[in-house]
Amino acid sequence: MENLNSHRTAKERDKMSFPTRILLERDFLLGEILDFGCGFGKDVEELKDKGLNVVGYDPHYQPDYPQKQFDTIICHYVLNVLKNQEQAKVLFEVSRLLKFGGKAYFSVRRDIKKTGFRTHFVHKVPTYQTNVLLPFISIFKNDNVEIYEYQHYCFLSQNQKEISPFFEKLEPREQVGELASCFAFRDKFPVSKGHTLVIPKRLVSNYFDLSFKEQSACWFLVNLVRSEISKEHKPDGFNIGININESAGQTVFHCHIHIIPRYKNDVENPRGGVRGVLPNNKDY
C-alpha distances (whole Å) from 196 to each of 31, 128, 176, 239 are 29, 34, 8, 11
Helix, strand, coil share (%) of the chain residues, nearest 5: 30, 25, 45
Whether residue 54 contacts residue 47, with contact meaning beta carbons closer than 8 Å, is answered with: yes
**Burial (CB count <10 Å: 0-12, 13-18, 19+), residue 265:** exposed
Task: Please tell me the distance from the alpha carbon of residue 246 to that of residue 256, in angstroms, as a whole number.
Answer: 14
254 is catalytic: no
CA torsion angle 227 135 181 71 (round to 10): 40
CA–CA separation, 80 and 87 (whole Å): 8
Return the beta strands (E) in 45-97 as ranges. Answer: 54-57, 70-76
Q: Which of 202, 153, 148 is nearest to 174 (CA)?
A: 153
CA 122 vs CA 8, 11, 62, 119: distances in Å? 9, 11, 21, 9
Q: Which of 100, 84, 91 is nearest to 37 (CA)?
A: 91
Catalytic residue from among 76, 152, 254, 256: 256
Query: Counting every residue, how long is the chain?
Result: 284
- The residues that are catalytic are 256
